[in-house]
Chain A
Amino acid sequence: MITIGLDIGSTAAKGVLLSEQERRLALVPTGWSPRTAGQQLVESLLGEAGIGRKEVGRIVATGYGRIAVQDTDKAITEITCHARGIAELLPDTRMVIDIGGQDSKVMLLGKEGRVVDFAMNDKCAAGTGRFLQVMANAMDLDVAELAEVEELDSLVSVSSMCTVFAESEVISQLAQGKSRAGLIAGLHQSVAKRVAGMASRMGIAAPIAFTGGVALNTGIKRALERELKQELFTPMECQYSGALGAALLARELK
C-alpha cells in the first residue's frame, strides 16, 4: 500500500510518501495556514511520484496542525509518530530527543518503537528552535549559521531561560564586547541544559536519537552530548522522522 505521512510543525511542514519501493520526502514552510501547507505537500509528493491521489491508500497527519489538514484518514500525535519513525531509521534507539520550532520533547521507547514514557516542555519557547531563531536574529545571523560561527573556547554563559530576557541578555553582553561566537556557544549550552534536564528526569536510556529541525544544528548536538555524557545519533532525514512515522503508522492502521 502507498501511504503518506504529513508532519505539520509550527515552522516547517514535512511529508513522506511511502511505497514498497521508495521513500519520497518533501518540505515546505508551514506559513500561516497548516491546511494549505498540507495540500502543497500532498500535491508535490504525488507529482514527484507521478501518481494520483486515488493510488494512495491512507494519509496520516501529525504535528500541531494535524487536525487542520484536510483529506486525511487519521491524526496521530507527534509523540507516537516520531517514536515510530525513529524505530525505522535507527532501530536500536531507546530514547528520542526531538527539538522542533515550538516545543521540545523526550520519548522513552519500548518494543517496536512504542512510547513508554514522554515529556514535553511547558508553555514556553525556552529550549526550542524558536529560542535559537530569536537569538540568531539578535546577532544578525541566519539560524543555520549558528553552529558554524560557534566558538566553544570563548563560551559566555547565558543564564536567562526566558526567550525575551535571554535576548536582552545577549544584546547587553554584545554591547560589553563579548564575542558573538562565545555567546552562541553559551546559547547552545543553555538549550542543551534545559532539554538534558527533561531527559534526566525520565532516566537516560542509550542509544539516544536526536531529531527535529534543531538536530541540524551540530552545535546543539555537541552541547547535548556534553550535558548527557552520551553520544547522540541523528538520522540523515532528522526533520522527517515524524512524517515517516505517520506514513508507517498509516500503513499499519487496522
Chain B
Amino acid sequence: MTQANIELFQSIREKTLKVLLDGRQTGLKVVGLYCTYAPQELVLAANAIPIGLCGTKEDPIPAAEEVLPRNLCPLIKSSYGFAATDTCPFFHFSNLVIGETTCDGKKKMFEIMQDIKPVHVMQLPHVGDANQTMNMWVAEIRRLKARLEQELNVTITDEQIWDAIDIINEETRLVKEMHDLNQQNPPLLPGMKLLIASWSRSFATSKQDVIATIKDVIATAKADAPTERSNRPRILLTGCPVGLGSEKVVRLLDELGADMVAMENCSGYKTLELQASKQHADPIVALAEKYLKIPCSCMSPNPYRMELLERMIEDFQVDGVIDLTWQACHTYNIEANAVGKLVKSKGLPYLHLESDYSQSDIETLKVRIEAMLEMVV
C-alpha cells in the first residue's frame, strides 16, 4: 500500500470536520454512534449522517473519573470524558446519540450522558437466536426509527431503508475484501495500516466517498503487491475494540517485527460477514436479523465468535493470537477462557492481555508479546 493511500484514510476526520462546520448553515443532521450494534442504515434512510464518536483516547479519562468510578472500562470513561469536556467534535455536532446496552457500565453511563445530549439507548437482548429475543429486537429497531423521525423531523420509508441497506451491504463487502488482502503472504495491509483503515472509515460523512476510498486502496495495494514471501510472524488480534489512541498493542507488534494480519475486534472483522438479507418483506426485520448476529461477548451463548475465529485462523494463516481485554470488561475477560482453549487446540500460542489506555504498562506488555513471538516456531 502506498503512503498516499493511507493518507486517504487519515484525512477522513479532517474532511468530516469541515463538512460538519459547513453543515451548521445548511441544517445538516448528524447522529453519533458508539457501537457496531447501531443500525446505521436507519440513520442514512433518515437523510442524516451516521458518525462514529470518540472513545479511544486517554486524555479525557481524568475528567470522566470526576463522575464515573475509576475501576471502569477505559472505553466507557473515555467516551463519557470526551462528551463531558466537549472535546469530541463529532459528539458536539450530533443531533442525537445512539447507545446500546452492551454492558452494565455503558447502560448506566448513558443515563448520565443524557444530561449533556439526547441519547437514545437501544435495549439489546443478550441471547442470539431465540424467537422471543428477535421480536424484542425488531421492536427496539422500530422504536429507534420512531425516535429518529421525531428527533430529525422526517418520515422514513421502507424504500429509503432498502436503499441504505444496499449501500451498507456494499461497504461491508468491500471492507471485507480489504481485510482479506492480508490472507496472502506477504499481507498487503498489516498492523497499523489495517487499524487506521478500519477505524477511520466510521468518521466519514459520505458512504460514497468511503466506498471509493476502499476501492482505491484495494486496487493500489494489489498493484503494488510485493512478491517475496515474508517470515514475519502473522498475528490475529481479538477482544475489546481498538482505535487510534488505544493502539499500543498494534504498535508493539509492528515494533517487534510481527504483522497483525487480522483483527476480529468490533471495527474489524467481527461484522464483515454480516449482510442484511433482501429476502425479507420488511426491511426492519432484515436489519434486526443482521445486527443480532454480531458476535459480541455480551451475547450468551456466543458460538459465532468461536466459529469466526477458527475460520480466520485458517484463512489468514495465523501463527498466534493476542486477546486484548480492557480493564473491567467482564464479558470479554471471561470469554478469553474459551478463546484460549480454541487457539491452544490448534497448537498455536495464545496471549491474553489485560490493560487500559495508559502507557504505564508498555514494558510489561512488550515482554509478554516478545515472549509470545519467540514461541512462534
Contacts and interface: CB of A to CB of B under 8 A. Distances in A.
On whether the two chains bind one another, the answer is: yes
A78 B364 CA distance: 12
A115 B344 contact: no
Contact of A114 (B344, B350, B354, B375): B375
Interface in A85-143: 114-118, 120, 122-123
Interface stretch (B102-110, B133-141, B243-251, B365-373): B365-373
Question: Residue among A77, A78, A118, A120 with the most chain B CB within 10 A?
Answer: A77
A7 to B, nearest CB: 13
Interface of B: 344, 349-350, 354, 360-361, 363-364, 367-368, 370-371, 374-375, 377
Interface residues of A, number: 14
Contact of B371 (A64, A115, A122, A123): A115
Contacts, number: 34
Nearest to A79: B371
Contacts of A76: 374
B354 A80 contact: no
Contacts of A115: 371, 374-375
Contacts of A122: 354, 364
Contacts of A116: 349, 375
A120 B369 CA distance: 12
> By CB atoms of chain A within 10 A, which of B344, B360, B367, B368 has the most?
B367
A114 B371 CA distance: 11
Contacts of A77: 367, 370-371, 374
- The main secondary structure of chain A at its interface with chain B is mixed
A134 to B, nearest CB: 20
A81 B226 CA distance: 35
Given A115-B374, A115-B375, A120 B364 contact: yes
A118 B367 CA distance: 11
28 contacts: A76-B374, A77-B367, A77-B370, A77-B371, A77-B374, A78-B367, A79-B371, A79-B374, A80-B371, A80-B374, A80-B375, A114-B375, A115-B371, A115-B374, A115-B375, A116-B349, A116-B375, A117-B344, A117-B349, A118-B368, A118-B371, A120-B364, A120-B367, A120-B368, A122-B354, A122-B364, A123-B360, A123-B364
Nearest to B347: A116
Nearest to B354: A122
A116 B367 CA distance: 16
Interface string A166-193: 0000000000000000000000000000
A101 to B, nearest CB: 15
B202 to A, nearest CB: 32
A118 B371 CA distance: 9
A115 B349 CA distance: 9
